[in-house]
Chain A
Amino acid sequence: MSRAANRALGGLRRLAGMAATLLVTSFLVFSSLYLAPGDPASFLVRGRSAGPAELAQIRRQYGFDQPFFVRYGHWLDGVLHGDFGRSYIFHQDVSSVIASRLPATLLLVGISALMIAVVGVAAGMVGALRRGTRTDSALMLLVTVGAAAPAFVAALLLRSVFGVKLGWFPTIGNGTGVLDRLHHVVLPALALSVTFMALVTRVTRTSMLDELRREHVEVALSRGTPRRTVIRRHVLRNALGPIVTVSALLISGMLVSTSIVETAFGMSGIGSLLVQSVNQLDFQVVQAIVLLVVAAFVVVNALVDLVHPLIDPRVAAAGSAR
């Protein structure tokens, strides 16, 4: 079989794996409703006064009188069409509740990811290239503390210092207009970044050190290639594989942490919506968000899997040999 066909087959296999993972995920999330004690219809309307007629209507709507797997099929069909049911709190479709809050969270996560990538990789490079120096030791101390500093602690400190004490940044809300929104998102994005910056720094440093030790680096230097070029073309380039794969694993943790950061900064977004919905017993919304977060993780990691052979051709070779 040709290499191209092999690669296509490998890609297809990965996509099939991703679909299977998503299917199991959706099943787990769907089933969670039935773990709740008591009648699922009453569970969905907890905390509100619902008459027998309304309960009967909910039972009909959700098909609670039908077999479990039929209901799952219906639900999955809906989810695949973007229908996550209705929120009894907002009296809206869950999908539109989520859609209205998605941009704020995407902005937060996007800015944060940018900070993590730039600062994390840069700090990791500095640590690796200055290995054993005081700079490196200080950086490693920061990494150890940073990896142990949860988003709510970072949020607390950033708000106290840059929000309340210095008054440089707003401490609450999303803001309106482009610049104001950006102004509002700086501290939350930083708070969200701290832990992950530390982890990316650590991965980058380790991975760069591994590559710096390789003989091909010495060969490149022996051929008169300038050190900076060697570091870019041979060290960082080769270290990229582990950096990207490990960073992709951080996505889910980052998405969940938006709930902490958005709550701490009183922002409106998917994360704060999740917490709010748990508090307001709006189970449909919780279910949808959980599913979206896990799906985002699975999809991103499947994409990274697909891209990995481009970053490291050896992976492609190992893949087609299997």
Chain B
Amino acid sequence: MSAQIAGLTAAPGARLRALGGDWLQRLCLLFLVVFVLVAAFAPWLAPQDPTFGDLGAGLVGPGAGHLLGTDQGGHDTFSALLEGSRTSLVGPLAVVLFSTATGIAVGLFSAWRGGWTDTVLGRLLDVLFAFPALLVAILAVAVFGKGMTAPVIAMSIAYMPYTARLVRGLALQEQARPYVAAYQVQGHSGLFIAVRRLLPNIGPTVLAQSTVNFGYALLDLAALSFLGLGVQPPTPDWGAMINQSQDAVLQGQPLSAIVPAVAVVLVVVAFNVVGENLGDRLAGRDS
């Protein structure tokens, strides 16, 4: 949604660090590890089958039978929370992997070729910047139908320019350094220098950007499912869970919506803090 901002402003992470020292960073990192483990082992961890709706047990409060209660359709919220982490991990991960890979390729190509190739690519990236990821995802659903595949691919394209522009800038900086000229003099090809030497140097910065992007991609995909256009029930998904609980919210029983909402926010906060601290640390190392 707003990944552009992440690159433009200093991170609050540094200030938060001042607030509580490095423990916040560690806590977030730990939380992300738990998130990934839960996503990996969700089917074994979930006490019940979240796709099973016990219509006789709708909107049950938290208790022994259902740790976090049930939603209107009688689905166990805790189990849905655990299993819903899987789409929240896999979807954004795919977006970040695709967009980072293509972004690196486009950015390096643009920087290396320079001249009008660089200019034209730059203009095209500008055009892509005008397309917010969620909008592109919605358009993809309109064309290809509901589900995750088309939106993930569409969003990968929408997120690509952020990485591409970052990599282009970094590559131009690195290109000016003496070691690149030294390699060129030794007769190494541009591709060799790019892959063997440049990537390791710009990798950490790109990783920081991708970490932040992960959080935003998660928000976009969850929004899509919330709109009923992404992950379809009965497959458990945090965004879809909130969507399914709209009526319960109006009846004053918002728990089955609040649980996934809190999960989304916590995971995104964790990704932002980790990503931005990584960025801060790199910035500190450079200066």
Q: Does A136 contact B (CB under 8 A)?
A: yes
A156, B242: Cβ atoms closer than 8 Å: yes
Q: Select B272's contact among A17, A147, A277, beta carbons within 8 Å.
A: A147
* A124-158 contact mask (Cβ, 8 Å, vs B): 1 or 0: 00000000100011001101110111111100110
Shortest distance in angstroms between B70's beta carbon and chain A's nearest beta carbon? 18
Shortest distance in angstroms between B51's beta carbon and chain A's nearest beta carbon? 22
How many residues does chain B have at the interface if contact means C-beta atoms less than 8 Å apart?
53
Q: Does A184 contact B (CB under 8 A)?
A: no
A148, B268: Cβ atoms closer than 8 Å: yes
Q: A275-B229, A278-B138 are in contact. Are A148 and B9 (CB under 8 A)?
A: no
Q: Select A148's contact among B5, B15, B134, B265, beta carbons within 8 Å.
A: B265
CA distance A164 to B258 in the complex (A): 14
B12, A286: Cβ atoms closer than 8 Å: no
Interface majority SS (helix, strand, loop, mixed), chain B: helix
Q: Select B261's contact among A157, A171, A293, beta carbons within 8 Å.
A: A157
- The interface stretch among B53-61, B89-97, B139-147 is B139-147
A147, B143: Cβ atoms closer than 8 Å: no
Interface majority SS (helix, strand, loop, mixed), chain A: helix
Chain B neighbourhood of A95, CB < 8 A = none
Q: Does A87 contact B (CB under 8 A)?
A: no
Instruction: Select the residue from B1, B246, B265 with max chain A CB neighbours within 10 A.
Output: B1
- The interface stretch among A58-66, A175-183, A195-203 is A195-203
B127, A28: Cβ atoms closer than 8 Å: yes
- The interface stretch among B169-177, B202-210, B218-226 is B218-226
A257, B1: Cβ atoms closer than 8 Å: yes
Chain B neighbourhood of A199, CB < 8 A = 2, 5, 9
- The interface stretch among A215-223, A247-255, A307-315 is A247-255
Q: Does A263 contact B (CB under 8 A)?
A: yes
Q: Does A238 contact B (CB under 8 A)?
A: no
Q: Does A160 contact B (CB under 8 A)?
A: yes
A297, B130: Cβ atoms closer than 8 Å: yes
Q: Does B131 contact A (CB under 8 A)?
A: yes
A25, B130: Cβ atoms closer than 8 Å: yes
Classify chain A's interface size: 35 or more
B135, A294: Cβ atoms closer than 8 Å: yes
The B1-21 residues at the A interface (CB cut-off 8 A) are 1-2, 4-5, 8-10, 12-13, 15-16, 18-19
Chain B neighbourhood of A274, CB < 8 A = 138
A144, B269: Cβ atoms closer than 8 Å: yes
Q: A21-B127, A202-B5, A275-B227 are in contact. Are A148 and B249 (CB under 8 A)?
A: no
* B223-252 contact mask (Cβ, 8 Å, vs A): 1 or 0: 100111100000000010010001001111
Chain A neighbourhood of B19, CB < 8 A = 137, 140-141
Q: Does B282 contact A (CB under 8 A)?
A: no
Chain A neighbourhood of B130, CB < 8 A = 21, 25, 252, 294, 297-298, 301
Shortest distance in angstroms between A140's beta carbon and chain B's nearest beta carbon? 4
A148, B269: Cβ atoms closer than 8 Å: yes
A145, B143: Cβ atoms closer than 8 Å: no
A141, B228: Cβ atoms closer than 8 Å: no
Shortest distance in angstroms between A293's beta carbon and chain B's nearest beta carbon? 6
Chain A neighbourhood of B264, CB < 8 A = 150, 153
Instruction: Select the residue from B15, B16, B273 with max chain A CB neighbours within 10 A.
Output: B15
Q: Select A156's contact among B223, B257, B268, B272, beta carbons within 8 Å.
A: B257
Q: A160-B258, A206-B10 are in contact. Are A259 and B138 (CB under 8 A)?
A: yes
Shortest distance in angstroms between A213's beta carbon and chain B's nearest beta carbon? 13
Q: A136-B15, A137-B19, A147-B272 are in contact. Are A260 and B2 (CB under 8 A)?
A: no
A141, B16: Cβ atoms closer than 8 Å: yes
Q: Does A240 contact B (CB under 8 A)?
A: no
B222, A150: Cβ atoms closer than 8 Å: yes
Q: A21-B126, A140-B12, A152-B223 are in contact. Are A286 and B138 (CB under 8 A)?
A: yes
A278, B142: Cβ atoms closer than 8 Å: yes
Chain B neighbourhood of A163, CB < 8 A = 250
CA distance A35 to B12 in the complex (A): 41
A152, B272: Cβ atoms closer than 8 Å: no
Q: Select A275's contact among B139, B228, B261, beta carbons within 8 Å.
A: B228
B254, A160: Cβ atoms closer than 8 Å: yes
CA distance A187 to B227 in the complex (A): 18
Q: Supply 8 further A-B pairs (C-beta < 8 A) apart from A199-B5, A242-B8, A246-B8.
A: A21-B123, A144-B269, A148-B268, A152-B242, A195-B1, A203-B9, A278-B142, A294-B135
Could you write out 20 A-B pairs with CB less than 8 Å apart?
A17-B123, A21-B123, A25-B131, A144-B269, A149-B265, A156-B258, A157-B261, A164-B250, A164-B251, A195-B2, A203-B9, A253-B1, A257-B134, A259-B227, A275-B228, A277-B142, A278-B141, A278-B142, A278-B229, A298-B130
Residues of A within 8 A of B (CB): 17, 20-21, 24-25, 28-29, 32-33, 35-37, 132, 136-137, 140-141, 143-145, 147-153, 156-157, 159-160, 163-165, 171-172, 195-196, 199, 202-203, 206, 242, 246, 249-250, 252-253, 255-257, 259-260, 263-264, 274-275, 277-279, 281, 283, 286-287, 290, 293-294, 297-298, 301
Per CB-CB distance, the 4 closest pairs between chain A and chain B, nearest first, are A148-B268, A153-B261, A160-B254, A286-B142
